[in-house]
């Protein structure tokens, strides 16, 4: 087995592998890497590939994240992509090969740890790693099956979900899509960001600066050029906005890749909550994804079943009104390059 870092000119080979892998997500695509590279707090990435007989059989996109005092940490976002149905011994052999490539880079980048967050329901504990750390992505999500008919999807929603969609329609809410190439895009993004900022203050979650969302929308939109041969499966992103009485009152950002559309970010005005615009936004995105041949709609994250006093209780109640299947993923794992700084970081994360 051969292991190494892919050059930019070789990234198409990695994308071809991600496209055919059943656990390959947008977070492991080169388009996601290019988006992350343009975020100041990240800025670098590496694609570590495992090869046999000149064919990629596994590996991971690794994103660098900056920390205070000159430290960094590495993230395998929904990776590594391996055959997790092999023996634990074989999986650990491949993890060890990836780590041999990462260790000298970690020294150069002053990284204190690497976090691996595979897109599988279960994974063995990797040798030298620790579990029970907080990941970027929720462990539990809700997946809607879009292969069903619209009528079936509607019938499987909770009655209140269907009712709220009809309220928004009856009130005359208009759903529009904003493209980075549109002349009104910057204004649309500003309107979305204002509502997002207010939503974060109301619901107590973190928001990035506006440039983050602009970069995400532009970079993933432009990624189509690198996936020309893959038809409708290329990474993409869309900003949907809800307009009521000539005012933007809600918005969502949806990514699509392969057979899955993902509800990534959402915001709604405090003033117009009784208009139920978020329900019509979701239903519009669901219908459009279905029309494109997308098979699944991922609501990205919900509170774990039977959890009490969870901060996502409210958003979980909203998402579950659309029906769907609850899916849980394996816990992320971390490997320490610098044990004391990593230990202090973990304590801080668990206390906050």
CA 241 vs CA 7, 80, 220, 272, 302: distances in Å: 38, 34, 18, 14, 23
Nearest one of 119, 141, 136 to 26, comparing CA atoms: 119
User: Looking at the structure, do residues 196 and 236 belong to the same domain, yes or no?
Assistant: yes
Q: How far apart are CA 178 and CA 240, in angstroms?
A: 6
Count other Cβ atoms within 10 Å, centred on residue 182: 13
User: Looking at the structure, do residues 153 and 302 belong to the same domain, yes or no?
Assistant: yes
User: Looking at the structure, do residues 122 and 236 belong to the same domain, yes or no?
Assistant: no
Residues 6+ apart with CB under 8 A from 234: 31, 223, 224, 226, 227, 228, 257
Q: How far apart are CA 38 and CA 222, in angstroms?
A: 14
User: Looking at the structure, do residues 100 and 227 belong to the same domain, yes or no?
Assistant: no
User: Looking at the structure, do residues 97 and 215 belong to the same domain, yes or no?
Assistant: no
Which range marks the domain in which residue 152 is found? 140-328
User: Looking at the structure, do residues 171 and 243 belong to the same domain, yes or no?
Assistant: yes
CATH for 277 = 3.40.630.30
Q: What angle do the packed helices 159-170 and 277-291 form, to 10 degrees?
A: 100
User: Looking at the structure, do residues 7 and 21 belong to the same domain, yes or no?
Assistant: yes
Q: Is the peptide bond before 59 cis (omega within 30 degrees of 0)?
A: no
User: Looking at the structure, do residues 42 and 124 belong to the same domain, yes or no?
Assistant: yes
Total number of domains in the chain: 2
CA 202 vs CA 118, 248, 270, 271, 314: distances in Å: 32, 18, 8, 12, 12
End-to-end CA distance of the chain: 42
Would you give per-residue pLDDT tens digits along the chain (352 residues)? 899 999 999 999 999 999 999 999 999 999 999 999 999 999 999 999 999 999 999 999 999 999 999 999 999 999 999 999 999 999 999 999 999 999 999 999 999 999 999 999 999 999 999 986 666 778 899 999 999 999 999 999 999 999 999 999 999 999 999 988 889 999 999 999 999 999 888 877 889 999 999 999 999 975 554 444 444 457 889 999 999 999 999 999 999 999 999 999 999 998 999 999 999 999 999 999 999 999 999 999 887 777 777 777 788 899 999 999 999 999 999 999 999 999 998 887 764 4
User: Looking at the structure, do residues 28 and 130 belong to the same domain, yes or no?
Assistant: yes
User: Looking at the structure, do residues 308 and 339 belong to the same domain, yes or no?
Assistant: no
Dihedral in degrees, nearest 10, Cα atoms 115, 118, 121, 125: -50
Residues 6+ apart with CB under 8 A from 242: 168, 173, 174, 175, 248, 249, 250, 251, 277, 278, 280, 281
User: Looking at the structure, do residues 324 and 337 belong to the same domain, yes or no?
Assistant: no
Per the CB < 8 A criterion, the answer to whether 261 and 294 are in contact is yes
User: Looking at the structure, do residues 302 and 290 belong to the same domain, yes or no?
Assistant: yes
Dihedral in degrees, nearest 10, Cα atoms 304, 307, 313, 315: 0
């Amino acid at each position: 087995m051969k292991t190494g870092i892919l050059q930019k000119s070789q990234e198409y080979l990695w994308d071809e592998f991600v496209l055919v892998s059943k656990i390959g997500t947008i977070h492991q695509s080169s388009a996601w890497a290019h988006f992350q590279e343009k975020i100041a707090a990240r800025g670098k990435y590496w694609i570590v590939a495992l090869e046999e007989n000149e064919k990629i059989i596994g590996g991971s996109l690794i994103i660098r994240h900056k920390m205070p005092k000159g430290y960094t940490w590495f993230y395998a976002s929904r990776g590594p992509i391996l055959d997790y149905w092999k023996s634990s011994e074989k999986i650990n052999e491949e993890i060890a090969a990836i780590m041999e490539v990462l260790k000298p880079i970690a020294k150069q980048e002053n990284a204190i740890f690497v976090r691996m967050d595979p897109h599988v329901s279960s994974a063995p504990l990797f040798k030298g790693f620790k579990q029970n750390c907080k990941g970027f992505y929720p462990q539990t999500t809700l997946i809607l099956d879009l292969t069903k008919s619209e009528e079936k999807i509607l019938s499987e929603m909770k009655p209140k979900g269907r009712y709220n969609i009809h309220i928004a329609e009856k009130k005359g809410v208009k759903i529009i899509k904003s493209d980075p190439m549109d002349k009104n895009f910057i204004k649309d993004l500003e309107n979305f960001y204002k509502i997002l900022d207010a939503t974060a203050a109301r619901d107590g979650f973190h928001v990035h600066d506006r440039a983050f969302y602009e970069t995400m929308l532009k970079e993933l939109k432009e990624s189509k050029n690198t996936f020309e041969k893959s038809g409708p499966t290329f990474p993409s992103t869309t900003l949907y906005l809800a307009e009521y009485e000539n005012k933007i009152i809600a918005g969502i950002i949806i990514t699509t890749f392969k057979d899955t559309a993902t509800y990534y970010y959402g915001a709604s005005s405090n003033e117009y909550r009784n208009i139920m615009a978020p329900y019509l936004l979701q239903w519009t995105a669901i219908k459009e994804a279905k029309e494109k041949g997308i098979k699944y709609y991922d609501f990205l994250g919900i509170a774990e079943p039977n959890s009490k006093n969870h901060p996502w209780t409210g958003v979980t109640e909203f998402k579950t009104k659309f029906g769907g299947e609850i899916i849980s993923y394996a816990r992320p794992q971390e490997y320490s390059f610098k044990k004391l700084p990593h230990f202090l970081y973990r304590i801080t994360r668990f206390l906050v």
